[in-house]
A and B are shown apart, each in its own frame.
Chain A
């Protein structure tokens, strides 16, 4: 168990952990059984989270209560919701504990030269969806390191890109509790991949109107910061996450986090079991539906190639680039393989290969969806076969 050595200094608290807790947990392999004594220094806010979760085996309800207390005391919580795939290999202690932890929260500590911080893995009612929770602001670079780790290693956890419909549903669900106004939105231009930020001090638009405005640029919506009357101040992110700045944690949890979790489960169901089967034709794949006819412009295919090339974890061979696009893609992190096609102006199709793990499918579909403003990821419609009229006409 942990022993706390509180100090009078508000700058930091220190604690020691023995026995089963192994640290520093910098995602390298550390023996679970080794004992160690190493001081850490947290900010007071981070220390509060660490103190709350230092005991293992906290159930979901108890965890929520502790997080609600922290918010009441002034902490902001940033959350990244992850799918946990049964596939993938546990290559480090963190992954092992992710596999082990099914129904209780547990905490790990991330060592960083700019400041250690605790990261809580919070299970949900859905077996394969977890929330990663920290008091470190989401804009902090330490979250980028975690996200890079999620995307690059052979871990069972992966983020996902929420469908626009699910994002809008969160907004409308909040509106059922009170007037929901956007104070800030961020997005990424579909035309030149530049970032777009809109902020309002007065005349804050409603949630749906703020989204529509961002889409009109055209841009891919990335986040919305909202106030729900005086009940909640939060940010909701397309990349499966949210932050509560203040207000009711229960509202945050029940509307935002639970809907993120549901969206994650739907996404995991969609991505699981997609690999191609021997001796069976490829019948269905995944379609990234776009908000507009982006690929009517031939330049977009070139942009897609550039996007895929820019990911150093992907091996990309463009077999056909103009006017239709076909690339053979392999994910070096886990050996997943896909064919990526653009054969319609408003859709990118991914046909999985003989190994196509959910994490890899999520990474590639999310990257494409983010860059080209996807509205939804879904199974491809069964390709209608051409009639004679089609063959004599448009094909």
Chain B
């Protein structure tokens, strides 16, 4: 029997991820398309930054390189209640604070002490500020000691617009516009909140589809089902057959940066939901058909979630089609072999 909260938990994570996509899309619009002076100050906005530092790859939610060679690093975070979550976030913010290079239109550009912008949901905004800035940054005994305080802004949805509001706390950071003609810093001195209607960023959201965080597995599985798998040619078996690598390349081509490990996790979701079968050589057979949910609930994401939480009995249509075809499966393939391959 499935955990009674399983589907709701998956859908909550799905919705949270979608809200993050909204937030990043809103800021991409502000920095690149708004009818303000801001876009003219931007040398490069990166939606999918991957910055190598000491053998690791840092992946903030977005970066902005300004034409005066200053930079801003943006991170959307949902802080959990336990302290480890806050500690982990502070470590992340400290790494961003220490960045010496930021993605440019080609390669990287050298920067000094970028501004760090932390975006948190309003229901945790004040608490986040207190725990990060007051309890840690302002605490001389704590290791979190950035060059400059991060700017913490909270966001919520209010009557058909997103509201991004800088928390008015004495130690909260403030973006440094330097000599630029316009910037977030000057805006937030005039008004404490910036409002963005979804219509302003819907095209960006539809085009980009996700953010730089490891995508929510259900979200990516749903995106693959509704936007990527339909574009694949149908195999003689009636299924869509495609490798993880090809899927990754397709997603990168159509939407943005994604890792092959993300693809595999999403395909594992579809496989557990008996909508896909793993074949040899990291390839998948997807039984792409009219997916209808139980009890009249036909939402694709929710149906996949339901099938993941309580996999249908029997082998499922995908396995039946594979069995009837010339496709080979190799159950139990050691997927760790593939983690050595490039992402």
Whether A40 sits at the interface, judged by CB under 8 Å, is no
Q: Assess whether A387 is in contact with B197, with CB atoms less than 8 Å apart.
A: no
Q: Assess whether B161 is in contact with A341, with CB atoms less than 8 Å apart.
A: no
Q: Is the interface of B mostly helix, strand, loop or mixed?
A: helix
User: What residues of chain B lie closer than 8 Å to A353, measured between beta carbons?
Assistant: 227
Whether B205 sits at the interface, judged by CB under 8 Å, is yes
Q: Assess whether A320 is in contact with B230, with CB atoms less than 8 Å apart.
A: no
User: What residues of chain A lie closer than 8 Å to B204, measured between beta carbons?
Assistant: 281-282
Q: Assess whether B300 is in contact with A335, with CB atoms less than 8 Å apart.
A: no
Partner of B298 from A316, A343, A355, A395 at Cβ < 8 Å: A316
A140–B105 CA distance with the chains assembled, in angstroms: 62
Q: Smallest CB–CB gap between B141 and chain A, Å?
A: 40
* Chain B interface size, under 10 / 10 to 19 / 20 to 34 / 35 or more: 35 or more
Whether A339 sits at the interface, judged by CB under 8 Å, is yes
Whether A351 sits at the interface, judged by CB under 8 Å, is yes
User: What residues of chain B lie closer than 8 Å to A392, measured between beta carbons?
Assistant: 187, 190-191, 193-195
Q: Assess whether B223 is in contact with A332, with CB atoms less than 8 Å apart.
A: no
Whether B310 sits at the interface, judged by CB under 8 Å, is no
Interface-facing stretch out of A29-37, A48-56, A307-315: A307-315
Select the residue from B15, B195, B223, B292 with max chain A CB neighbours within 10 A.
Answer: B195
Q: List CB contacts (< 8 Å) of A119-161 with chain B.
A: none
Q: Assess whether B225 is in contact with A391, with CB atoms less than 8 Å apart.
A: no
Whether A176 sits at the interface, judged by CB under 8 Å, is no
Whether B35 sits at the interface, judged by CB under 8 Å, is yes
Whether B53 sits at the interface, judged by CB under 8 Å, is no
User: What residues of chain A lie closer than 8 Å to B230, measured between beta carbons?
Assistant: 330, 332, 335-337, 355
Partner of B301 from A318, A323, A349, A355 at Cβ < 8 Å: A318
User: What residues of chain B lie closer than 8 Å to A319, measured between beta carbons?
Assistant: 18, 301
Query: B-facing mask of A249-267, CB < 8 A → 1, else 0?
Result: 0000000000000000000
Interface-facing stretch out of A19-27, A163-171, A378-386: A378-386
Contact (A387, B35) CB under 8 Å given A317-B301, A318-B299, A337-B227: yes
User: What residues of chain A lie closer than 8 Å to B203, measured between beta carbons?
Assistant: 281-283, 285, 351, 383
Partner of A276 from B34, B196, B207, B299 at Cβ < 8 Å: B207
Whether A393 sits at the interface, judged by CB under 8 Å, is yes
Whether B97 sits at the interface, judged by CB under 8 Å, is no
Contact (A316, B299) CB under 8 Å given A343-B160, A383-B200: yes
Query: A-facing mask of B206-240, CB < 8 A → 1, else 0?
Result: 11000000000000001101110011000000000
Q: List CB contacts (< 8 Å) of B300-317 with chain A.
A: 300-301
A71–B162 CA distance with the chains assembled, in angstroms: 60
Select the residue from B161, B196, B225 with max chain A CB neighbours within 10 A.
Answer: B161
User: What residues of chain B lie closer than 8 Å to A391, measured between beta carbons?
Assistant: 30, 34, 36, 187, 194-196
A355–B232 CA distance with the chains assembled, in angstroms: 11
Q: Assess whether A383 is in contact with B254, with CB atoms less than 8 Å apart.
A: no
Contact (A315, B159) CB under 8 Å given A341-B198, A391-B194: no
Whether A8 sits at the interface, judged by CB under 8 Å, is no
A319–B198 CA distance with the chains assembled, in angstroms: 13
Whether A299 sits at the interface, judged by CB under 8 Å, is no
A351–B209 CA distance with the chains assembled, in angstroms: 13
Q: Assess whether A395 is in contact with B161, with CB atoms less than 8 Å apart.
A: yes
Q: Assess whether A309 is in contact with B196, with CB atoms less than 8 Å apart.
A: no
Q: Smallest CB–CB gap between B33 and chain A, Å?
A: 5
Q: Assess whether A395 is in contact with B190, with CB atoms less than 8 Å apart.
A: no
Whether B336 sits at the interface, judged by CB under 8 Å, is no
> Closest residue of chain A to B288, judged by CB?
A332
Q: Assess whether A312 is in contact with B231, with CB atoms less than 8 Å apart.
A: no
Contact (A315, B291) CB under 8 Å given A386-B35, A391-B194: yes
> Closest residue of chain A to B250, judged by CB?
A354
User: What residues of chain A lie closer than 8 Å to B254, measured between beta carbons?
Assistant: 278, 354
A278–B231 CA distance with the chains assembled, in angstroms: 13
Q: Smallest CB–CB gap between B126 and chain A, Å?
A: 22
Q: Assess whether A337 is in contact with B190, with CB atoms less than 8 Å apart.
A: no
Contact (A326, B35) CB under 8 Å given A278-B253, A316-B300, A317-B226: no
User: What residues of chain B lie closer than 8 Å to A323, measured between beta carbons?
Assistant: 157, 159-160
Q: Smallest CB–CB gap between B171 and chain A, Å?
A: 25
Query: A-facing mask of B1-45, CB < 8 A → 1, else 0?
Result: 000000000000001001100100000011001111000000000
Q: Assess whether B198 is in contact with A324, with CB atoms less than 8 Å apart.
A: yes
Q: Smallest CB–CB gap between A395 and chain B, Å?
A: 4
Q: Assess whether A309 is in contact with B226, with CB atoms less than 8 Å apart.
A: no
Select the residue from B157, B196, B207, B230 with max chain A CB neighbours within 10 A.
Answer: B230
> Closest residue of chain B to A281, judged by CB?
B207
Q: Assess whether A328 is in contact with B34, with CB atoms less than 8 Å apart.
A: no
Whether B289 sits at the interface, judged by CB under 8 Å, is yes
Whether A107 sits at the interface, judged by CB under 8 Å, is no
> Closest residue of chain B to A279, judged by CB?
B253
Whether A271 sits at the interface, judged by CB under 8 Å, is no
Whether B202 sits at the interface, judged by CB under 8 Å, is yes
Q: Smallest CB–CB gap between B13 and chain A, Å?
A: 13
Whether B199 sits at the interface, judged by CB under 8 Å, is yes
User: What residues of chain A lie closer than 8 Å to B18, measured between beta carbons?
Assistant: 319-320, 326
Partner of A393 from B190, B195, B202, B290 at Cβ < 8 Å: B195
Whether A329 sits at the interface, judged by CB under 8 Å, is yes
Task: Beyond the given A305-B299, A392-B190, please list 19 additional residue pairs across the A-B interface where CB-CB is below 8 A.
Answer: A281-B207, A309-B297, A315-B226, A316-B300, A319-B18, A326-B198, A328-B223, A332-B230, A332-B290, A339-B202, A339-B206, A349-B199, A351-B202, A355-B231, A385-B200, A386-B36, A387-B36, A391-B196, A394-B195
| Chain A interfacial positions (CB closer than 8 Å to B) | 276, 278, 281-283, 285, 305, 309-310, 312-313, 315-320, 323-324, 326, 328-330, 332, 335-337, 339, 341, 343-344, 349, 351, 353-355, 383-388, 390-395
| Chain B interfacial positions (CB closer than 8 Å to A) | 15, 18-19, 22, 29-30, 33-36, 157, 159-162, 187, 190-191, 193-200, 202-207, 222-223, 225-227, 230-231, 253-254, 288-292, 297-301
A selection of 25 A-B contacts at a CB cut-off of 8 Å is A315-B300, A317-B300, A320-B19, A323-B157, A328-B226, A328-B227, A330-B226, A332-B288, A335-B230, A339-B202, A341-B202, A343-B202, A351-B202, A353-B227, A354-B254, A385-B29, A386-B197, A386-B200, A387-B36, A388-B187, A391-B34, A391-B194, A392-B194, A394-B195, A395-B195
4 nearest A-B residue pairs (beta carbon): A395-B161, A395-B197, A343-B199, A335-B230
